[in-house]
Structure 1
Amino acid sequence: MKQPLSLTTDPIPHLVWRIALPMSVGMFFNTMFNVVDTLCAGWLGTESLAALSLSFPLYFVVFATGSGISQGTTALLANALGAGGKAEARQVFAQSLLFATTAGLLLSSIGWLVAPSLFRLLGAEGAYLHTVLAYMNVILGGGVFFLLPMILNSALSAQGTTWVYRNFLIAGFAANVVLNPVLMWGWGGLPAMGVAGIALATVLVQMGGAVFLWSHASRTDFGHGLKLHDFRPDARTLRRIAGQAVPAALNMLTIAMGVFVITWFVKHFGKEAVAAVGIATRIEQIVLMPAIGLNAAVLSIVGQSHGAGLPQRVREAWMTNVKIGAGLMLVGGFLVWLLRGYAMRLFTQDEIVIGHGRDYLLAASLTLAAYPILFVTVFAMQGIKRPSYGLWMGIYRQFAAPVLVFHTLAFALSWGLWGVWWGICIVNWSGALFALAWGAKKF
């Protein structure tokens, strides 16, 4: 393993790039992994493509749970490492793996029970329902293996090591490109599994990732030589993990709530508007990719610095990441404004959809710089073990403020779709300004 960085002494700008860049590269390939799944499902037919879309709510619950446990583990481990508590770090690591395994098994069991009713509620019947369940049942079968790689990565990230996860995501993308057609069409003598083959390919990649990441995490000071008794449930440690993980997971779930709220308002203006926002938000997510790695950087640096009792370094880490993120997205916003029409045409030739998407991206070009301010502050607060901040910010930004602002601008003031587009800008910048004020007070 490469020599770990010193998160409490190395220059912060140097650490930010060393931690953030590999993570951003890895997340790009993770996004492309999902693009490959979508393309392959499209080759199987509209029903298979719809099955992937319909399964998103249940899939997202698994992802949000893993993300919450991962953030909580990184925060607790980084604090312990910063304070020099290797024994505590060892205990947190072992109990986090136990927590994630238990949560994964529980999610799979509940998912199998509720999936048929949930998908019927969403409109799936007959062959369509069978296709959705063929995909989702396999995904749920590998529930533990979606969580374990995230937890193992969080342990490595706590000491500033993100290149391992990057390498897994790159290799996982390449493996998925090969496995998807082999499993869904049955090449090489294997039976054709259809959409279930796409799901199995994903599970196999996650299983491989768990093995690969464990091979590195088990060599750390806190992961080396773990014994079976280390995984005996410890109520105090499990409560600490839950205290960090549950608010972070709920914050992630507010994202799904936010998507629902935006879609509910946009649907009043026609299916072209709904299609436009779907395309435009994907373009927005691609532009945001360079700033995503800053979340891992600020969480690990702030966590260790807080644990080491270095408040000035905590503040410097927060401000450095805010400045870098906002700066990157000011450039990204200019590019979105300049290329918004061309970007929309890469996805559709429908002029009405393009027009709506171009309008959305105009407002988004002015909103982009707000996101890293919000995200960096939420992850920094997680680093000082204040996860509830992110949850309350998520409720405000994804539900409370949008419902009020969108309705006022779009309907009460008759701005129409522009009311939604500018409403998103207003809500996120109000949240970002609050985050700056809150961060200045707390760090």
Structure 2
Amino acid sequence: MDSLSLTTQPIPTLLRQLSIPSSLGMLFNTLYNIVDTYYAGLISTEALAALSASSFLFFFVIGLAYGGTSALTALIGHAYGKQHFFLAGLIAKKGVALIIGIGMIMGLLGFCFASELLTLIGTEERYHALALSFIEVILLGSALFFANFALNSVLVATGDTKSYRNTLIFGFFANIVLNPLFIYGWGFIPSLGIAGIALSTVLVQMMGAAYLLFKSLQTGLINFTCKKHFYPDRRIYKELIRQATPPGLNMLMMSFGSLIALHFVTLYGYQAVAGYGIGYRVEQLMLLPALGISSAVLSLVSNNMGAGKMERVRQTLLYALGYGYTISIVGMMILWLSGKWFVAQFNPTLEVIQYGTTYIYVMLFLFCGYVTHFACVATLQGIKKPTMIFYVGFFRQILAPSLVYTLIVTYFELSFVWMWIGLACIVYSSALAFLYYTYTKLNDAVIASTPNG
């Protein structure tokens, strides 16, 4: 899709065109994770708990990638919207090189301290070795994850949400074949157990990165005609880091917030950890449309901001919230009717089913709050006003949950369900404040862009 289409076609049409492929891709990405969860459950309940613990730890490691890639999309989108294609290509090349470099460093650091980090988040001895065998393989392939994120950010800035979708669909089917192959072994391939799930993921990421590189080369923004275009540039890095820091820290805090939640969940036992891991993945399945919409919002807002069309920016947020709330209500009804069945498919243990179902039945009422957060983050990132993202993220992910979970679990010693009721209060209070702030910033920008503004 060219830059002119992103700044001239009707917003509702563009939202559908951009968000549907993105949502479909994320659907298969979540199904991918569900396949991993299914096979881990076949190994043992301890393996399922190990997968949950190590996955949350890895989400923390790759948190930096989100900030860098969303900032990269915004900066490329601004240049693309202004028809400054050489500058857009320069930003793309230097940004991709930086993000992959960070991925290599984060992966190596995580690998060196993986055992200590698993112990720190409360991983029990009975499944610590399993979690370690999984996370070590994943961390060695971190640069591939970062490469996929970075190359996709280049494509999203140009309005291409289909290429990443294609890699995720392919990855889902490849994972179905590779998981049992490496878990149980075949011929000269040894039986790797839970480490086989990790190896399958790394190989899928490698194939996805190769495809996305091919598609990025077709845009003209990425090419290898001049190696110096990939060299560090202080001005571009400074702007990229300035834009990436708030959302990057927000994602790190989101990942850290998951680790905080996991720490308190471990106090209820390893079956609670397994149930929480299943419930979390089922919940993510229903949030996919909202995540797809936020990806479309970032692309549309950054391009229209670059073209100086602020009224279209405001329309993008309005339509995104309307679509997101509608889809959330549908998702709530689906999970209310089928949540327990979903959890039971991954583990037959009654306690695990109870914990997973309890989590889902509370969290489904948070969907509209999450939609609000996703849309506001994408909008503020797109208009290059990301600072508040950090403050809201710190309150929602770190400060408030630490206090609330401590009171509920440690001080009052309440049951598992109250953890998530407390989280619901946090999510909606911060969502309302975030939405008010975002609208204020948009109105200011619209006024400033008018002839008399």
Deviates more, 1:336-345 or 1:213-222: 336-345
Q: Is the 8 A contact 1:182 1:188 kept in 2?
A: no
Secondary structure class of the residue paired with 1:187: coil
Quick one: distance in 1 between partners of 2:192 and 2:163?
31
Matches within 5 A, 1:354-365: 360-365=359-364
Quick one: distance in 2 between partners of 1:239 and 1:304?
21
1:261-287 superposed Cα distances (whole Å, 9 cap, x missing partner): 445556666777666554443332222
Give 1:404 shift.
Answer: 4.5
Give 1:63 shift.
Answer: 2.4
Quick one: distance in 2 between partners of 1:128 and 1:365?
29
Partner of 1:246: 245
Partner of 1:25: 24
Quick one: distance in 2 between partners of 1:140 and 1:161?
28
Partner of 2:39: 40
Partner of 2:441: 442
Q: Does 1:432 align with 2:431?
A: yes
Quick one: distance in 2 between partners of 1:231 and 1:362?
48
Quick one: distance in 2 between partners of 1:343 and 1:202?
23
Change (3 A) 1:3 1:310: closer
Q: Does 1:377 align with 2:376?
A: yes
Give 1:142 shift.
Answer: 1.9
Quick one: distance in 2 between partners of 1:152 and 1:44?
35
Q: Is the 8 A contact 1:5 1:161 kept in 2?
A: no
Change (3 A) 1:202 1:415: closer
Quick one: distance in 1 between partners of 2:426 and 2:122?
32
Quick one: distance in 1 between partners of 2:384 and 2:334?
36
Quick one: distance in 2 between partners of 1:181 and 1:269?
31
Q: Does 1:328 align with 2:327?
A: yes
Quick one: distance in 1 between partners of 2:48 and 2:354?
25
Partner of 1:204: 203
Give 1:230 shift.
Answer: 0.9
Give 1:160 shift.
Answer: 1.2
Give 1:12 shift.
Answer: 0.8
Q: Is the 8 A contact 1:321 1:376 kept in 2?
A: yes
What's the % identity of the aligned pairs? 37
Q: 2:365 is aligned with what amino acid?
A: L
Give 1:4 shift.
Answer: 7.4
Quick one: distance in 1 between partners of 2:352 and 2:222?
51
Deviates more, 1:432-441 or 1:52-61: 52-61
Provide structure 2 residue ranges, at least 5 long, that are not aligned to the other structure: 443-453
Give 1:213 shift.
Answer: 0.6
Q: 1:308 is aligned with what amino acid?
A: A
Give 1:144 shift.
Answer: 1.3
Secondary structure class of the residue paired with 1:189: coil
Partner of 2:233: 234
Q: 1:95 is aligned with what amino acid?
A: K
Change (3 A) 1:100 1:309: same
- Give the aligned CA root-mean-square deviation in angstroms: 3.2
Deviates more, 1:280-289 or 1:299-308: 280-289
Secondary structure class of the residue paired with 1:386: coil
Quick one: distance in 2 between partners of 1:274 and 1:134?
18
Q: 1:103 is aligned with what amino acid?
A: I
Provide structure 1 residue ranges, at least 5 long, that are not aligned to the other structure: none
Change (3 A) 1:346 1:62: same
Q: Is the 8 A contact 2:53 2:262 kept in 1?
A: no
Q: 1:247 is aligned with what amino acid?
A: P
Q: How does the TM-score come out when normalised to structure 1?
A: 0.88
Partner of 2:69: 70
Partner of 1:283: 282
Quick one: distance in 1 between partners of 2:180 and 2:418?
44
Quick one: distance in 1 between partners of 2:208 and 2:376?
29
Q: Is the 8 A contact 2:133 2:195 kept in 1?
A: yes
Quick one: distance in 2 between partners of 1:412 and 1:186?
48
Partner of 2:103: 104
Q: Is the 8 A contact 1:257 1:398 kept in 2?
A: yes
Partner of 1:310: 309
Q: Is the 8 A contact 1:4 1:161 kept in 2?
A: no
Quick one: distance in 1 between partners of 2:361 and 2:197?
36
1:297-328 superposed Cα distances (whole Å, 9 cap, x missing partner): 00000011111111111111111101110121
Q: Is the 8 A contact 1:181 1:187 kept in 2?
A: no
Quick one: distance in 1 between partners of 2:141 and 2:346?
32
Q: Is the 8 A contact 1:73 1:92 kept in 2?
A: yes
Change (3 A) 1:11 1:224: farther
Q: 2:179 is aligned with what amino acid?
A: N
Q: How does the TM-score come out when normalised to structure 2?
A: 0.86
Secondary structure class of the residue paired with 1:84: coil
Give 1:9 shift.
Answer: 0.9
Partner of 1:152: 151
